[in-house]
Amino acid sequence: MNEFIDLEDVQFDIDREGRCGFPEVVYGEGKTKETILKIFQTMLKYNIDGLATRVSDDKGQFLEQELMRDKIHFSYNKVAKTFRIHKQDGKRSSVYGKVAVISAGTSDLPVAEEAKETVLWTGAEAVFIQDVGVAGPHRLHAKLPLLREADAIVVVAGMEGALPSVVGGFVKVPVIAVPTSVGYGASFGGLAALLGMLNSCASNVTVVNIDAGFKAGYVAGLIAGKGRTKN
Amino acid sequence: MNEFIDLEDVQFDIDREGRCGFPEVVYGEGKTKETILKIFQTMLKYNIDGLATRVSDDKGQFLEQELMRDKIHFSYNKVAKTFRIHKQDGKRSSVYGKVAVISAGTSDLPVAEEAKETVLWTGAEAVFIQDVGVAGPHRLHAKLPLLREADAIVVVAGMEGALPSVVGGFVKVPVIAVPTSVGYGASFGGLAALLGMLNSCASNVTVVNIDAGFKAGYVAGLIAGKGRTKN
Amino acid sequence: MNEFIDLEDVQFDIDREGRCGFPEVVYGEGKTKETILKIFQTMLKYNIDGLATRVSDDKGQFLEQELMRDKIHFSYNKVAKTFRIHKQDGKRSSVYGKVAVISAGTSDLPVAEEAKETVLWTGAEAVFIQDVGVAGPHRLHAKLPLLREADAIVVVAGMEGALPSVVGGFVKVPVIAVPTSVGYGASFGGLAALLGMLNSCASNVTVVNIDAGFKAGYVAGLIAGKGRTKN
Amino acid sequence: MNEFIDLEDVQFDIDREGRCGFPEVVYGEGKTKETILKIFQTMLKYNIDGLATRVSDDKGQFLEQELMRDKIHFSYNKVAKTFRIHKQDGKRSSVYGKVAVISAGTSDLPVAEEAKETVLWTGAEAVFIQDVGVAGPHRLHAKLPLLREADAIVVVAGMEGALPSVVGGFVKVPVIAVPTSVGYGASFGGLAALLGMLNSCASNVTVVNIDAGFKAGYVAGLIAGKGRTKN
Amino acid sequence: MNEFIDLEDVQFDIDREGRCGFPEVVYGEGKTKETILKIFQTMLKYNIDGLATRVSDDKGQFLEQELMRDKIHFSYNKVAKTFRIHKQDGKRSSVYGKVAVISAGTSDLPVAEEAKETVLWTGAEAVFIQDVGVAGPHRLHAKLPLLREADAIVVVAGMEGALPSVVGGFVKVPVIAVPTSVGYGASFGGLAALLGMLNSCASNVTVVNIDAGFKAGYVAGLIAGKGRTKN
Amino acid sequence: MNEFIDLEDVQFDIDREGRCGFPEVVYGEGKTKETILKIFQTMLKYNIDGLATRVSDDKGQFLEQELMRDKIHFSYNKVAKTFRIHKQDGKRSSVYGKVAVISAGTSDLPVAEEAKETVLWTGAEAVFIQDVGVAGPHRLHAKLPLLREADAIVVVAGMEGALPSVVGGFVKVPVIAVPTSVGYGASFGGLAALLGMLNSCASNVTVVNIDAGFKAGYVAGLIAGKGRTKN
Amino acid sequence: MNEFIDLEDVQFDIDREGRCGFPEVVYGEGKTKETILKIFQTMLKYNIDGLATRVSDDKGQFLEQELMRDKIHFSYNKVAKTFRIHKQDGKRSSVYGKVAVISAGTSDLPVAEEAKETVLWTGAEAVFIQDVGVAGPHRLHAKLPLLREADAIVVVAGMEGALPSVVGGFVKVPVIAVPTSVGYGASFGGLAALLGMLNSCASNVTVVNIDAGFKAGYVAGLIAGKGRTKN
Amino acid sequence: MNEFIDLEDVQFDIDREGRCGFPEVVYGEGKTKETILKIFQTMLKYNIDGLATRVSDDKGQFLEQELMRDKIHFSYNKVAKTFRIHKQDGKRSSVYGKVAVISAGTSDLPVAEEAKETVLWTGAEAVFIQDVGVAGPHRLHAKLPLLREADAIVVVAGMEGALPSVVGGFVKVPVIAVPTSVGYGASFGGLAALLGMLNSCASNVTVVNIDAGFKAGYVAGLIAGKGRTKN
């Protein structure tokens, strides 16, 4: 069995979905736009719904033009810097669970959007709740019914990173906390939020890397779609 | 509705199971043995299956004696430093999913045991795999069939913390990584393992605090028992 | 004017109250029990109500015996490790404002007690609220009326240190946050709580050193007794 | 009661003044100029005196033009990067206490100006003292009479951050220390000053985040205006 | 004996090959293009095969033009930013051992190329293996026969830096691990990878500085060419 | 093929020598004396020359007694805390290369001894040079002839860790630097020495973990015995 | 006595020479070119030989033009970014001691030049020795006679910062070590060099801030000119 | 010339005084009491006035007994943990300059005493000033005349480490700052004081390692005795 497609500079892991439940995701940061395009074309040939993250504006516009020319369906989220391609028309016949994505402040938006796009790519429904930081407590309270419908919750917060603990104390599902690099001074590029989340007093909180919206969305989608992706 | 039981030095959250899916867990470190006993007695009155973590040897022996006198069923794991009480006979009528707990080396055992005990307390089945560190790769390979049956996997590792990434590359379920303080020199009390796990190249890995076996077991049990604890 | 009393190993600042509003406080850690006694005797001679912090058990018992022999009024708080002497009978004719001291968990108690004792020493009334951590949100809500009567609030919390932000969002007075060294792993001896509090999204939160219950109580007392201590 | 105004990308907390004593402040960094304008217009409708911090030059000029066109009174401080709007003519009928704002060196000026503008916005009088660093001790001594009239003192310093301790030893009121990122090498972006201030030997010093002039001014104004904003 | 050539701004160590086995290498970062050229010309005069690292694009193009004009043989690797000059035609009459250079991801390429160029310069053969990160385990397995032919192995990896441990568990030769600054958030500029590699559970792994491809290639070449460079 | 011996608490890797060139080494820290004995007995059965590191005094005395009773040859180094068993009489028929082990100060001795014992275990000759720190330069110069005979050099140093660079500038073979936790204050448990060695200006220096004498000795032995252990 | 000249944005300390031995030095970084000029003009009026450090290129050119127009003598060192004005013709009638300034590599030059200019400004003679890093030991040995004539030695080094210890072991005078931010990866902006120097095994080494050439030159000049500046 | 005395475990540098101005100092921490005695006996044979630092109580008592038996003159400072031997009767015929040693608080005393003993050993006079921390400013002012007579000043301070800057602003001689590990919480074992001192705004301040009283005393003695120890 030939498990890799050799694309010269990249060795695309064609077998990832079989082994891990989802196809390999393209991390756009170290790759040229041509390379990303080449990977997308390979994905389409193998009938894979692709996701690329950290796609800068110029790479995104290039992909947009190339894929439109070939009449391929795609979703390009300029805030999230994500690019998704759809083997058919991008309409999903079925949805696998529901994930809530919450952010503490408006500056956390790009990371929250990356999480949301990844959730959608995993096949789950995404509920998006913005600007419910700890300083305004009733904003969160108003959203509790929405949160309680979710199978997993992604909480995105910078600065002190207190929101996951507060959310965690209200719900029965796993909370995946994403610290962001939003803040200044003693936030030390997200370190304060990261440490705060790791020390959360809520038992249902696990943590991912600073600004790792993708990884939080991925795991939340995995939890929401449980059974679909069972080993 | 009276949601708290006032035990003088502790205000026991009687409503936690309704809100969060599981009862409040007793963190034993800052509490006297008498206080832990008092909380356990309250739990029994309210028909709650209790779990206490970080119970030192002398506290454990005291609880053991007191509870045996009252003919109460309990499980006391001296390696994990956990103490569980069972409302009836501790035999479970049903099991909610399966969690694998893997540790890299023998020194990681106490943390892995804490995770395992917590998994059992959540009502899930626990598969326990020891001493499968990265330096001896075939040990892990031999266990892959076992891992692939789990609904969630807890991976416990100190030093460099590479095991979660390697495990994550083989499975379709969430991996919860627990860095341990095992190591010396530039392990900096578990910091090396923690950073390694946060930077894992495997998409399905989330992380908890250093030595936080309890939290990893809790979230893994939550995922495995999905539906049971749905909001 | 002779502003110092030379006690050999210590030069006691007899003028501190005139300059700073309160007498010099004795930091017990680096001093022998005999030295502390000598300073207390000097204070009594100059009609000063003394406060000593970080007084270990054996030093405390020595002072207790010596002062009882001389029929001097004192308050010795063994949890706080504070020792106060009263020029007369320790009954206060008047009270200068009200300070609330809140702690997140039972392990934070010694630091909270140190803050409370210092508040009392400044002449303010102290409201003491324990075990209202973020994971059990209604506990805090039940205490809000009490908090709203205070002139300043001291919030003591370890681990993630999220409580000051949550409290800060409900009140109109300054919140002085005290991170504690309570926690394990990535709490790094209180660093996580400290960074979290410095990055608090609540505008009315200032921070003191890790475990510095004394300093928080001092400043809260200063605020509550405003006018009394005006320059 | 409708407590939020939904401005699409921002949910403005109309109730903040009732709950916290002062209206919500606009953190300009993550927001577009159009968003800030929209919030200001909402504030004017609700008769709120607005403050925005971290307003960059281009955003400031835009706001200046728009508000002048509408003949609205405002104060735009280009050094502080703050923008204040005044419901009427910006003239204050009454003043609530007095705050001194001191800075150690000329490079600390922007942070000190942010503190000063915030003090004015809280309704207090601001005394501004510049360039009185520790290396030239008589400069500070000359200002002591001025300092002794204040109800609270904001001390802004970078590098080693020693000024708050020195000031704290001379006064009877709370000192709020603001470390700045001014310095090079082992100042590590303000960390040296932050640690120095947290370890201050003066009992009346509390600390805010690096460069957080706003927060220091806010709390100082709260203390100076005590009674006005009592819960 | 005159051991130095005085080139004004640089004192070129003409004796390095006699003392250390290889000539002095030119670290290009702090030097002007003219200085590098001058050193190269000196090397040619003394019949030394030169290597310069960290040669930026503009410096490289300048050297290319100047050396072509003088019909000197050279190898300029634009990805590695290395520039080598060959005393004759750059063809090697003999090869001293074999070194494998492996990288985990495509972003690690520049560092891996620097290692490879240095290996070639030491006189060893270089086997180059790309994109065999831990998440896709069979990619590495397919390359094991190639690895087992090497006398020393350079492993280049960013993020969590787990690859050296995995490689180390399969081979009988020294592994030189190079952490790279590739990653984001809690990779802290390569710190996570560095700590991971220092804590490697594989006994045959030593570590060099972050991004120090040159040093890894140098030592690997030294090991591979053992006997050639014996003291 | 059965590659592991199941010793209950440990799974002994019987195949390590075939795969990695040397047998598995016993890390004594997390293991009971009975477990270490059991592993040694297994090794003897399989004709393996065993090495255990970090064997505390009481464990060492126990092993000494047990092995003497069974008339087994062993070497127990109480300074190094290492314990080696010899399948026959411990006399080596042949030697594989030569390694110099140098230490900067007398406090570095235990780490240097661990390195030396490991070198001997790999089959190489060990030259041991003590107390040649940088502050007394002629001490090192007197030893240069000895150093120049070695195939690899282990340099052990705490505090500032400058010795590897100085040694590296005089020799043609790989230098493996071992930072030690010797020092106080800003040595931060060996961090200063570790960073110094990673930034060494000598091209032939690679680094291992703080206090990792074993690993340095292992790699030095691997280099010295090149050919013997070739893949 | 009027000790300050009020220059609006700066309060120039006219009395510094009387109190501290040397006039106040102008730190150019936070000041406009107009402000620096104004201070220089004040200095000239008070017959002070001025020094400004961290003067950027554009500020330097402006000062150059303005001062040339007024026929004032000055020395502008573009590498050091220092600007000195001379009350008369800049020729010194007498010299106060001798200071050696040594740098490890060419990239350390700007910091070394700043130290040298400051030494000259203090009235001492400066001996300048470049590029004598630890990797080429005979380069330093050749300079020992020169070093032994100095009254104090400034050693400037980045990366591992080993040079001060080596120099310190050869001389009888104080060595002032200046770590530089030269390096990459685990040099962490000069931290590695700073820690190395603080842990120096040579007894005569004290340390200043990273890149603080000025301070090292100042103290070296103070030592060399002892007696001249005695209190 | 035989420059070393081989004492088995230590190689005593008999030539240090000729090369560095003072004899080698014995760092007591890693050495047995017998070794220290042996070195002292060697020193006496070579007519050297010896100094040993970090001599624990039991080692000190042993040395005391042994040296008294042999009727050797010595000074044993139990607070400083230093032990000095005198070739004759310990009375100095001449004194080389004057050094002031100042400490901020009583807990800094052991480090200050170590500095003082070292100053005396270098042949200088020592002025000792205790407990003059920044919080009580007039205490320092009263001592200024004393300080102004010194040739060099050692300032010992923990916590925030502000005292050296304040002292530095009043004097014309070098200030050597010694951070101590005195403090708690965010003092991080002396890091706060160390960073504060490195960032001192006073130009005449250089810094030594945390708790390094010896090194500060050594350099201060070197400066005070200038001319005596000239190269």
Block residue for tokens 């609006």 = G8
Residue that is last in its domain, among A52, A86, A120:
A86
Mean pLDDT along residues D180-201: 95
Using an 8 Å Cβ cutoff, are H192 and D200 in contact?
A: no
DSSP E13-34: ETTHHHHHSSPPPEE-TTS-HH
Between CA E79 and CA E59 the distance in angstroms is 14
Residue H2 pLDDT level (bands cut at 50, 70, 90): very low
User: pLDDT band at C93, cuts 50/70/90?
Assistant: low
Closest-CA residue of chain D to H105: D201
Mean pLDDT calculated for residue range H49-72? 95
Position C90 confidence tier, pLDDT thresholds 50, 70, 90: low
- Residue G198: closest C-alpha in chain F: F186
Query: Which DSSP letter does residue F219 get?
Result: H
Asked if B138 lies within 8 A of F3 by C-beta distance, the reply is yes
The distance of Cα E72 from the centroid of its chain, to the nearest Å, equals 22
Please give the backbone phi and psi of residue C103, each rounded to the nearest 5 degrees, phi first: -125, 150
Beta strands at C4-6 and C11-13: parallel, antiparallel or unpaired: antiparallel
pLDDT digits (tens, 9 = 90+) for F150-197: 999 999 999 999 999 999 999 999 999 999 998 999 999 999 999 999
Give me the residue from E3, E11, E210 closest to G186, CB to CB. Answer: E210
CATH of the domain at G196: 3.40.50.1970
Residue F121 contacts E, CB cutoff 8 Å = no
Residues 19-78 of E with CB under 8 A from B: none
Q: How confident is the model over F10-45, as pLDDT tens digits?
A: 777 877 888 888 888 999 988 889 999 999 999 999
**Which residues in chain F touch residue E231, judged by CB atoms under 8 angstroms apart?**
147-150, 171-173
Q: What pLDDT is stored for residue G229 in this prediction?
A: 55
From chain C, pick out residues whose CB is under 8 angstroms from the CB of H111. none
Instruction: Indicate if ipTM > 0.85.
Output: yes
- Whether residues E117 and E153 share a domain: the answer is yes
Q: Which two tokens stand for residue D122?
A: 């809280």
Q: Is D109 on the interface with C (CB under 8 A)?
A: no
The identity of residue E166, as a single letter, is: V
Does A touch B (3+ CB pairs < 8 Å)? yes
In a domain, F92, yes or no: no
A1 touches chain E (CB under 8 A): no
Our CA-based measurement puts residue H21 at a distance from the nearest CA of chain G, in whole angstroms, of 5
Chain C interface includes H137 (CB < 8 A): no
How far is Cα H138 from Cα H151, in angstroms, rounded to an integer? Answer: 23
Q: Are residues D180 and D114 in the same domain?
A: yes
Whether G160 and F135 lie within 8 Å, measured CB to CB: no
How far F91 CA lies from chain B's nearest CA (Å)?
A: 30
Which residue stretches of chain G have pLDDT < 70? Answer: 1-3, 89-93, 229-231
pTM of the shown model:
0.95
Asked if the structure places residue E93 within a domain, the reply is no
pLDDT at H192: 97
Find the CB nearest A135 among C159, C169, C196: C169
Distances D176 to B53, D8, G199 between C-alpha atoms, Å:
40, 36, 35
Closest CB to F212: pick one of B106, B130, B185: B185
Chain B with chain C: Cβ pairs closer than 8 A: 41
Q: Do F186 and F120 share a domain, yes or no?
A: yes
CA distance E109 to chain B (A): 17
Q: Are G212 and G120 found together in one domain?
A: yes
Dump pLDDT digits (tens) for E33-66.
999 999 999 999 988 899 999 999 999 999 999 9
Q: How do residues C115-150 score in pLDDT, each as one tens digit? A: 999 999 999 999 999 888 777 777 888 899 999 999
Position H99 pLDDT exceeds 90 = yes
- Listed by number, the residues of chain H in 171-190 with a beta carbon closer than 8 Å to a beta carbon of chain F are 179, 181, 189-190
- B9 with B74, same domain: the answer is yes
Is residue D88 less than 8 Å (CB to CB) from chain G? Answer: no
What is the domain count for chain H?
Answer: 2
Closest-CA residue of chain B to E201? B135
Work out the minimum CA distance from H107 to partner chain C, whole angstroms.
5
Q: Report which DSSP code applies to B127.
A: E
CA distance to partner chain H, nearest, from residue D209 (Å): 14
> Could you tell me the pLDDT band of residue H90, with boundaries at 50, 70 and 90?
low
> How many beta-carbon pairs under 8 angstroms link D with H?
111
Name the residue of chain E whose CA is nearest to B169's CA.
E135
Q: Which residues contact C212 (CB under 8 A, 6 or more apart)?
A: C111, C178, H184, H185
B93 assigned to some structural domain? no
Cα distance between residue D170 and residue D186, in whole Å? 29
User: Are residues H75 and H117 in contact, defined by beta-carbon separation less than 8 angstroms?
Assistant: yes
Q: Out of B29, B190, B211, whose CB is closest to C107?
A: B29
Q: Could you say which of G22, G168, G206 has the minimum Cβ distance to residue H208?
A: G206
Q: How far apart are CA B104 and CA B87, in angstroms?
A: 34
List beta partners, residue H86: H73
User: Which residue from D minimizes the CA distance to H162?
Assistant: D162
User: Does residue A2 surpass a pLDDT of 50?
Assistant: no
Mutate to test the interface with D, among A79, A131, A139 (most CBs of D within 10 A): A131
Residues of chain D with C-beta less than 8 angstroms from the C-beta of G17: none
pLDDT band at F2 (very low <50, low <70, confident <90, very high): very low
3-class SS at C19?
A: helix
H69 and H180 fall within a common domain: no
Please name the chains neighbouring G, where neighbouring means 3+ C-beta pairs under 8 angstroms. D, E, F, H
Residues of F in contact with G190 (CB under 8 A): none
Q: What is the three-class DSSP state of A17?
A: helix
* Separation of alpha carbons B36 and C62, rounded Å: 33
Of A83, A34, A74, the C-alpha closest to A55 is: A83
Touching chains A and H? (3+ Cβ pairs < 8 A): no
Which of D58, D86, D114 delimits the end of a domain? D86
Is pLDDT above 70 for C230? Answer: no
A33 in helix, strand or coil?
A: helix
Residue E229 lies in a domain: no
Do G138 and E9 lie within an 8 Å CB cutoff?
no
By CA distance, what is C16's nearest residue in H?
H136
| Last residue in a domain, options B37, B64, B86 | B86
Range of the domain at C14: 4-86
- The beta-carbon neighbor of C185 closest among B3, B31, B181 is B181
Report the share of chain F in percent with pLDDT over 90. 71
E200 vs B137, B160, B191: nearest CB = B160
H92 within some domain? no
Which chain F positions have a beta carbon within 8 Å of G202's beta carbon? 134-135
Q: pLDDT tens digits for A47-94?
A: 888 999 999 999 999 999 999 999 999 999 999 999 999 987 666 667
Binary contact (D147, C199; C-beta < 8 A): no
> Are chains F and D in touch, 3+ Cβ pairs below 8 Å?
no
Q: Which residues, other chains included, contact G28 with Cβ-Cβ below 8 Å and sequence gap of 6+?
A: G36, G52, G53, G54, G55, G56, G59, G81, G83
Are residues D201 and D142 located together in one domain of the fold? yes
Mean per-residue pLDDT of chain H? 90
Instruction: Tell me the pLDDT of chain E averaged across its residues.
Output: 90
- Cα H34 to chain centroid distance, Å, stands at 23
Shared-domain flag, residues F114 and F180? yes
C162 chain-A contacts, CB cut-off 8 A: 134, 160, 162, 165-166, 196, 201
pLDDT number for residue C19: 82
Residue D227, pLDDT > 80, answer: no
pLDDT band at H1 (very low <50, low <70, confident <90, very high): very low
Which of F104, F165, F170 has the CB atom closest to G160's CB atom? F165
Nearest residue of chain C to residue H159 (CA atoms): C209
Higher pLDDT, F50 or B7: F50
Q: DSSP characters for chain D?
A: ---EEE-SS-EEETTHHHHHSSPPPEE-TTS-HHHHHHHHHHHHHTT---EEES--HHHHHHHHHHHHHTT-EEEEETTTTEEEEESSSS--S----EEEEEESSGGGHHHHHHHHHHHHHHT-EEEEE----TTSHHHHHHHHHHHTT-SEEEEEE-TT--HHHHHHTT-SS-EEEEE-S---GGGGGGHHHHHHHHT-SSTTEEE--TT-HHHHHHHHHHHHTTTTS--
Question: Does residue G229 sit within a domain?
Answer: no
Same domain, B163 and B107: yes
Q: Do C166 and A137 touch (CB under 8 A)?
A: yes
Residue E89, pLDDT score = 66
Residue A230, domain member (yes or no) = no
The verdict on A200 and A164 lying in the same domain is: yes
Same domain, H122 and H148: yes
Determine contact, residues C164/C195, Cβ cutoff 8 Å.
Answer: no
pLDDT value at position B229?
Answer: 54
- pLDDT by residue (tens digit) across C6-64? 777 777 787 788 888 888 899 998 888 999 999 999 999 988 899 999 999 999 999 99
Q: Measured between alpha carbons, how far apart are the two ends of chain D, in Å?
A: 20
Mutate to test the interface with D, among C16, C20, C54 (most CBs of D within 10 A): C20
E153-161 mean pLDDT? 95
- Check if D117 contacts C (Cβ < 8 Å): no
H142 with H80, same domain?
no
Residue A167 lies in a domain: yes
Query: How far does the CA of residue F199 sit from the closest CA of chain G (Å)?
Result: 5
Give me the pLDDT at residue D2, please. 46
Contact list, E25 vs chain F (CB under 8 Å): 203
Residues near C196 by Cβ (< 8 Å), separated by ≥ 6?
A: A160, A161, A162, A192, A195, A196, C160, C161, C162, C165, C179
Q: Decide if C131 touches B, using CB distance below 8 A.
A: yes
Establish if G219 touches chain H: CB-CB under 8 angstroms. yes
